[in-house]
Amino acid sequence: MAELEWCHVIALTSVMPALKELHVCGNGYTDLVVQSDDLHTVECLRINDNSLTSWEEIWKLHQLPKLKTLILSGNPLQDIFYKDPMSEVDTCNCPWCRWDHSTGLEDLVFEVEEEDLENDSGHAANVNVGSESATGDQLVDCKPCGLESISWSNPFPALKALCISETSINAWQHVEELSKFPHLHSVRMKGIQLLSTADVTEEDRRKLSIACLPTISNLNGSSISETERDKAERHCLTYFSDKESKPAVFQVLQEKHGQLTPLADVDIGYGFQEWAKLKFIHKANIVHEANMHVVEPVGTLRLYISKKLFLPLRSFRMWHRASGASHKEGLMEDLEELFLDSLPMSRFNFLDGDEIFIDDI
């Protein structure tokens, strides 16, 4: 469907009782309107490449009972959240009990004095928590205050796969919200703003994502092994150890793995040169200087010397001395023989000013 208003989409789907997959890509939607009986048979909803910026619009889909796959890539979404279903129900503050929904129904706390064990009618209070309705929703009955048969179900009860690639998510707290979805196990999140601005490699992006998604078993189409997760969690600890802003999972991982040493700031490319000006010394004299392409094999250097100095190819041995001023202090070594023609010259860290000693055999 292209350039079709959302209300027309809903109208069409209402006459398709067996509809399982719906594609509404690229329609420019900025908001959604979903009633309780809309899209109730849909298992896969592709709503990518629209103009949805707020997760409040996506949340309107949370009651779809059969929705397993949700594709949101290409929308400028800026946030993700998962609302506690208990927060939608009023707190019970009757004289018999205090219902603290901030931690769930399991923590129903009774505040009943011994002399108040019976109500005004002489009957004991009756509070039932956690029974199930015929539809599987949880029920709460509190007879003293008249709070009866309040029901709720987990939002997105069937959602297993979610794609948020190429969105504007830019905070780890939003990524971490995905772990609250009860059955979500597969996430695709390539090219989100948070990861595209991070000064890390693609491999490290995956590690940080895995560490912040403890309940996800498949990321960007690849399964997450226990070994990979362990390495990712440790990398997350070292990466964020010296950062002011840390994801909430950092403290959990620190309790699990302990405090790890920050990653050393090592420049593995220090001093590397693709071209280097070398001095060639034969019989104690500098006989030649040249700018050499030092990523070539040692055999290329041998051939070059043979032609320049008119020496038979196998009539001399070559030695390298790191005498250039660009070498780190203390790293200048004695002569090192260039003995294997197949080795790349970069193996010997040639820099400007280095010397090649040539000995006749």
Structure tokens at 206: 């995956």
Q: What is the pLDDT of residue 329?
A: 56
Q: In whole angstroms, give the CA distance from residue 108 to residue 233.
A: 35
- Identify which has the larger pLDDT, 136 or 354: 354
- Among residues 83, 82, 253, 250, the alpha carbon closest in space to that of 174 is found at 82
- Identify which has the larger pLDDT, 272 or 287: 287
Question: Over the stretch 259-286, which tens digit does the pLDDT of each residue have?
Answer: 776 555 544 455 567 888 999 999 999 9
Structure tokens at 310: 């008119």
Q: What is the pLDDT of residue 106?
A: 41
What is this structure's pTM?
0.59
Structure tokens at 305: 């010397």
Q: What is the pLDDT of residue 264?
A: 53
Q: Is 150 left (phi over 0), alpha (psi -120 to 50) or beta?
A: beta
Q: Quote the percentage of the chain above a pLDDT of 90.
A: 53
pLDDT of 241 over the 60 cut: yes
Pairing mode of beta strands 186-188, 161-163: parallel
- Among residues 257, 243, 165, the alpha carbon closest in space to that of 209 is found at 165
| Predicted confidence band of residue 147 (pLDDT cuts 50, 70, 90) | very low
